[in-house]
Structure 1
Amino acid sequence: MQDNAMSKWLSPLMAFCVSFIIIATLAPVTGIQIERQLDFWLLWLGTMLILALPVCYLEIALAKRSKTTAVQALSTLTRDADASPKWRLVGWLAVVFIPFLAGGMLSAASQYVGNFAVNGATTYSVILAVLAVVAFALSLLPRQVLILITAVGVLAALVLANVMGTTLPAWQITTLEFSEWGNATVLALVASGLGLGLYWQSSIAAVKQQEIATKTVFPIWIAQLLAVVAFAFFAAKAQVPALALALSLVTGAALLIQMAREQLQQRQLAVVVQWLITLIAVFVWAAHVMVPVFNIALLIWGLMICLIYAIFAGWIMKISHLRKSMNFSNEAFYNIWRIAVRIVLPLSIILALVAVIGQLF
């Protein structure tokens, strides 16, 4: 009962913090902080409904079905679906992506620290290496402590950004472009931490007790939505809120590193291999010249994971398995979700991939 009660507040709080700091990491990559385009933000909120919500249901349904973390669960899920073991690759793509994303967050934190807190002679690579060492050390703390520290950092950054009088540009309405669909999809899925099994992993205790998936899904999704709204009124232009955000980015990275290592541990990999995978995925970001390439890789890699999960859950798994896991009160809700996962999600992600890749040329 204690684990269940803890999951009820831990997963939504984690969802808010993780979503906010990943948005802060990816926002400069997508360029959404250059102008406050009301039409784009409305598009983003729309994708949170039609894309992020179905994926959130997907994660929790798979958690209810497997009752274990993603990498470990896919062995059972593919056998239940009489599917090729090749589908298990998505779990490995996600578990390696998690520390790689943590490295991206540390990269963003390094830039904030470099801009506001240290002498210009200190190089980006040195700052990132120091922050990475701190993140790995913090990853040994209990998860509840990491989430609370991250939450304090996020809330401090939000409050201080407003108290210190950061002026935001006025909202404006512009013509929507095709590239903005790609950015909105990235921010709704990748920036929400969906497809990585994080909420799957943090909600296992709760889903073992709850028969209806919605009771777990909605608090997480609402928390993600609140993170989007909060970011609309945030800018880290002053030193203090920027450093508060940098603190939350470091502790958030520590949280992701811990969760990735936990999944690898459940696959019974050697401790040395667990640390080696996470260390390499994080420290590759120390190569400053490669950061633009890594940023694009974050967008494409994250979208590909969501695409594979959507195809696996929508087309490969047996209908009865996920229907029973979600336990909707009305069959129509399940049919709507299934259409979203089978058709809307894959097509939307493919269009987003085309848009993201198109921006490179």
Structure 2
Amino acid sequence: MQDKAMSKWLSPLMAFCLSFIIIATLAPITGIQTDRQLDFWMLWLGTMLILALPVCYLEIALAKRSKTTAVQALSSLTREADASQKWRIVGWLGVIFIPFLAGAMLNNASGLLSVAAIDVAPQILFAGLAVFALALSLLPRQILLLLSTIGVLASLAFAHIQGTALPAWQITPIEFSEWGNATVLALVASGLGMGLYWQSSLASVKEQSVATKTVLPIWIAQLLAVVAFAFFAVKAQISALTLCAAIVAAAAFILQMAREQLQQRQLNIAMQWLILSVATLIWLIPNTAPVFNGLLIIWGLLLCLIYAIFAGWIMKISHLRKSMNFSNEAFYNIWRIAVRVVLPLSIIIALLAVIGQWV
């Protein structure tokens, strides 16, 4: 468990690095960066406000309520709500999603190395990066986050210095598919639904009576990460190498967090490493990347959907109101409407839009 001082800056810094790296992973899948449509980015800003911010509050409120990580917390949260034990599956889905996401990130990193003119088969590169990331996950969390931050900032700096050319901004009619992409960008690419911010904020939320003090720095860091990515592209060797280093460190970081959750469930160490390794290395299966990319997006959206339904409809009203401790009752009512109605409907529409692009 991280100490109180570290927890105050760990979550926002993690939010910036992780959001930047996940969107770099998802951009080739969704075509987010190549379009450079101003209307799409305005739509994304709206989804960050009406979707990502309520989910971020949800994670921190659950952290304050449970005072433990997601997998462990769902046992007590379902008991408090007199809810079926089936709801606990969302914690397990989240912790298994983490190494699956790490595999996607590393798979993208192996592709980046081709930009750096490294003449090795992508699958061999991926296997090497995955094993390296699993080994690095044994390092202290502060070191991994520092390495990831340096890598992201270096990638941004070198892309700017080398004058990476990007398509011109344009305004186009908003299409149905853009809602799906904007929702993916706001929720999945921001790292929400996995309980990572929940986990990294545990020490600080115990000391803070108001959830907003924890939520807003995370949310602003997520905003900054996506804005930075809007002006970024990997087209030079050194940017590819620095971003690849950042991805490996970030993958190791989240793998360590997943392992910590499995440890709290008292799984034996062999089972912990088996779950992490299989979920990460499954990306080695040939010709499955398109299927896994789709699964990644759908799985990430479903996590947010299940949490929204559980927090909005299953949990008792008083529990999360006390955890968030808003200064005005109206703010809580707005949040509750967002979680109960706006989030589920928006995610379902996004799922339809995303699936519609593939049909």
TM-score, structure 2 length as denominator?
0.99
The alpha carbon displacement at 1:137 in A equals 1.1
Q: Distance in 1 between matches of 2:280 and 2:117?
A: 22
Give the conservation status (yes or no) of the 8 Å contact 2:115–2:235. no
Q: Distance in 2 between matches of 1:258 and 1:88?
A: 21
Cα offsets for 1:295-352 (capped at 9, x unmatched): 0000000000100000000000000000000000000000000000000000000000
Task: Report the secondary structure of 1:210's partner residue.
Answer: coil
Cα offsets for 1:11-51 (capped at 9, x unmatched): 10011000000010001111112221000011111111110
Write the mapping of 1:302-321 to structure 2, written as runs, cut at 5 A: 302-321=300-319
Q: Provide the residue aligned with 1:343 in structure 2.
A: 341
Q: Distance in 2 between matches of 1:34 and 1:213?
A: 37
Q: Distance in 2 between matches of 1:200 and 1:72?
A: 12
One-letter code aligned to 2:327: S
Q: Provide the residue aligned with 2:253 in structure 1.
A: 255
Q: Distance in 1 between matches of 2:161 and 2:56?
A: 34
Q: Provide the residue aligned with 1:110 in structure 2.
A: 110
Query: How large is the RMSD of aligned CA atoms in angstroms?
Result: 0.8
Cα offsets for 1:43-101 (capped at 9, x unmatched): 11111111000000000000000000000000000000000000000000000000000
The alpha carbon displacement at 1:169 in A equals 1.1
Q: Distance in 1 between matches of 2:335 and 2:21?
A: 28
Give the conservation status (yes or no) of the 8 Å contact 1:124–1:286. no
Q: Provide the residue aligned with 2:23 in structure 1.
A: 23
Of 133, 136, 140 in structure 2, the residue corresponding to residue 135 of structure 1 is: 133
Give the conservation status (yes or no) of the 8 Å contact 2:259–2:272. yes
Matched, 1:56 2:56: yes
Q: Distance in 2 between matches of 1:112 and 1:210?
A: 41
Q: Distance in 1 between matches of 2:181 and 2:9?
A: 30
Task: Report the secondary structure of 1:192's partner residue.
Answer: coil
Q: Distance in 2 between matches of 1:135 and 1:151?
A: 16
The alpha carbon displacement at 1:117 in A equals 3.4
Q: Provide the residue aligned with 1:157 in structure 2.
A: 155
Of 322, 327, 347 in structure 2, the residue corresponding to residue 329 of structure 1 is: 327
Of 288, 291, 297 in structure 2, the residue corresponding to residue 299 of structure 1 is: 297
The alpha carbon displacement at 1:288 in A equals 3.7
One-letter code aligned to 1:210: Q
The alpha carbon displacement at 1:115 in A equals 3.1
Task: Report the secondary structure of 2:358's partner residue.
Answer: coil
Write the mapping of 1:172-211 to structure 2, written as runs, cut at 5 A: 172-211=170-209
Q: Distance in 2 between matches of 1:246 and 1:288?
A: 22
Q: Distance in 2 between matches of 1:274 and 1:184?
A: 34
Q: Provide the residue aligned with 2:272 in structure 1.
A: 274
Q: Distance in 2 between matches of 1:252 and 1:183?
A: 23
- Post-superposition, which runs of at least 4 consecutive aligned residues in structure 1 deviate over 4 A? none
Write the mapping of 1:40-55 to structure 2, written as runs, cut at 5 A: 40-55=40-55
Cα offsets for 1:227-248 (capped at 9, x unmatched): 0110111111111111111111
5+ residue gaps, structure 1: none
Of 261, 264, 267 in structure 1, the residue corresponding to residue 262 of structure 2 is: 264
Q: Distance in 1 between matches of 2:240 and 2:270?
A: 35
Q: Distance in 2 between matches of 1:82 and 1:207?
A: 25
Q: Provide the residue aligned with 2:96 in structure 1.
A: 96
Task: Report the secondary structure of 1:359's partner residue.
Answer: helix
Cα offsets for 1:248-272 (capped at 9, x unmatched): 1111111111111110010001111
Q: Provide the residue aligned with 1:218 in structure 2.
A: 216
Q: Distance in 2 between matches of 1:153 and 1:30?
A: 24
Q: Distance in 1 between matches of 2:227 and 2:26?
A: 16
Identity within the alignment, %: 74
The alpha carbon displacement at 1:3 in A equals 1.8
Task: Report the secondary structure of 1:99's partner residue.
Answer: helix
Task: Report the secondary structure of 1:289's partner residue.
Answer: coil
Q: Distance in 2 between matches of 1:35 and 1:96?
A: 32
Give the conservation status (yes or no) of the 8 Å contact 1:114–1:127. no
Q: Provide the residue aligned with 1:67 in structure 2.
A: 67
One-letter code aligned to 1:3: D
Give the conservation status (yes or no) of the 8 Å contact 1:311–1:341. yes
Task: Report the secondary structure of 1:83's partner residue.
Answer: coil
Q: Provide the residue aligned with 1:81 in structure 2.
A: 81
One-letter code aligned to 1:347: L
Q: How many residues align?
A: 358
